[in-house]
Amino acid sequence: MKKTLLVVTLSIVLLNVFAQESQDDTTNSEDNINHNWHNKSVTIDQIYGVEVEKAYDQLLKNKKSTTVIVAVIDGGIDVNHEDLKNNIWINKNEIPENGIDDDNNGYVDDINGWNFLGNAEGENIDYENLEVTRIYREFKDKFENIEQKSLSETEKNQYEIYKKAKKIYLEDKNNALKEQKQLVAFTERYKEAIIKLEWYLDTNVITLPSLIDIKSKDKVLMNHVNFLIYLFSNDFTEESLREMKKYNTEEVDYHYNVEFKPREIIGDDPEDINTAYGNNNVYGPEADHGTFVSGIIGAERNNNTGINGIVENVKIMALKTVPNGDEKDKDVAKAIRYAVDNGARVVNMSFGKQLSPQKYLVDEAILYAEEKGVLLVHAAGNDGYNIDKTKQYPTKNISTEQQASNWITVGASSMNGDLEFAADFTNYGKNMVDIFAPGVDIESLAPESTYDTGDGTSFSAPVVTGVAALLLSYYPDLSYSDLKYIILSSAVQYQKTKVYKPGDYSRKRKTVKFGKLSVTGGLVSAYEALKLAETYKK
């Protein structure tokens, strides 16, 4: 997920967490065993994918499909990517670049979707605060020295949100500043160790085998050796260190910086959902995350280029809503409504945050989508949390009495049915997470017609979104409730499979039954879902 969920410290455990959140360049080779693995089948390939290729080969040959519009609410999307451009939604009621709102939907020249992070002059938000930072800044002066008994009911609710935000903000900001110092010290120690070992071994290439062979009575030298062995044994690279430092700088300079106020360029009323803002630049300052997510769903199939998306007959609607930081509730609400009003049948949402001060706006949009028959698919998150206990937003819980019925939450799994079948970073919950899907070492698209691999529930959600769209493509009369029932009921069951408990990075990791991590205790299967759909409507 393009999230602010990456916690950077110098322990090797969290170095591993860092590696799971990053996306790394990879070659697009059929010789790569991981290539397109999430579409494979355990019965045919001995890989725990979602059986997309098996479904096409055995169930869908000679069957006719219809086009399905899928909205991707995310960061930017490269709509000109070589493996995606033919599957991008085009608003046929809008004349391109004429500066007129031809279809009178409130969005000028919205050809492929809309960017809610920009203004009419073409300026766009890249970095943003976290929500806790925004709340802390907004209410600090009002509530810092006030007596709660003097507050109105509205102010009391604001005060409670402020207290939560303040606690998280101060703790996380202090951790980020502490990490900044640790990273400086760590870098110095690492460089010193490398220099010493390059001199000792008379080489500028230090490898793990060369370190293991070193035997010396020089205690200082051996301290350097053991330090590097520890790092290299746990997949540490200089690239990972650079990424850690970059992320930490973003945290300090943008995410937790109360003086940084990027939203001012938008010029909207934050309390008014009816205000018009944004532009049609769906790429924006960056398009990595949204392009990756879109590729999983709709990369062009069987074109001898890149990867195969899950859905052959699909159009991706690009809704840029998620910055490098936390998304705004109002933007999410407007994006959901845009998707619904412009024909999307499924909406993918690979984002989330800790607090939601305008939750009511998102709730209203979710219920609007429910009323209009649109399925929403959401990533569970990458903190290793039990989200039955630790709240994450947006959420299917409208209130304590009401849940959205058009909502699926997805956790992340790996390609092997072993102890690491459940990704160690994935959020989980017997009530709040519905199903699991591949989310480790996933290959997909990157901007400028390139390709990456990445990990995260951000990439599990579009797998389920893709399966939902595939079902609709061949069974267009299915309702959102039909889709949800079919996807969850046809999940391949791994109830009793023992896996490491997500979020446990101790040396002696606890195990848990996979069935305890979600509602279904299973893995989504395109093949099984299509089989059920065939009999379901008869």
Which tens digit of pLDDT belongs to each residue from 81-126?
A: 999 999 999 999 999 999 999 999 999 999 999 999 999 999 999 9
Predicted TM-score of the model (pTM): 0.92
Q: Coil, helix or strand for 295?
A: helix
Better pLDDT: 288 or 151: 288
Closest CA to 72 of 261, 282, 370: 282
Q: Which residues pair with 69 in a beta bridge?
A: 315
pLDDT at residue 296 in the model? 98
| Per-residue tokens: 520 | 């279904």
Residue 436 CA to residue 443 CA, distance in Å, equals: 18
Residue 408 CA to residue 466 CA, distance in Å, equals: 13
Q: Coil, helix or strand for 385?
A: coil
Better pLDDT: 7 or 121: 121
> Is-cis flag, bond preceding 394, omega within 30?
yes
Q: Which domains can be identified in the chain, with CATH numbers? A: 27-127+275-536 (3.40.50.200), 131-255 (no CATH)
Give the pairing type, strands 68-74 and 346-349: parallel
Q: Which residues pair with 443 in a beta bridge?
A: 453
Residue 244 CA to residue 262 CA, distance in Å, equals: 23
Percent of the chain as helix, strand, coil, to the nearest 5: 40, 15, 45
Strand order in the sheet with 442-446: 23-25, 450-454, 442-446
Residue 378 CA to residue 381 CA, distance in Å, equals: 9
Q: Coil, helix or strand for 292?
A: helix
Per residue in 502-532, pLDDT (tens digit) is: 999 888 999 999 999 999 999 999 999 999 9
Per residue in 455-466, pLDDT (tens digit) is: 999 999 999 999
- What is the residue-averaged pLDDT of the chain? 92
The pLDDT-based confidence of 154 (bands split at 50, 70, 90) is: confident
* Upper half-sphere CA count for residue 110 (Cβ side, 13 Å): 26
Per residue in 289-305, pLDDT (tens digit) is: 999 999 999 999 999 99
The pLDDT-based confidence of 6 (bands split at 50, 70, 90) is: very low
Identity at 19, one-letter amino acid code: A
Q: How far apart are the first and last CA of the chain?
A: 38
Residue 115 CA to residue 150 CA, distance in Å, equals: 42
Better pLDDT: 155 or 128: 128
Contacts of 175 (CB under 8 A, 6+ apart): 7
The pLDDT-based confidence of 149 (bands split at 50, 70, 90) is: low
Residue 365 CA to residue 341 CA, distance in Å, equals: 11
Per residue in 241-262, pLDDT (tens digit) is: 999 999 999 999 999 999 999 9
The pLDDT-based confidence of 537 (bands split at 50, 70, 90) is: low
The pLDDT-based confidence of 51 (bands split at 50, 70, 90) is: very high
pLDDT at position 19 over 50: no
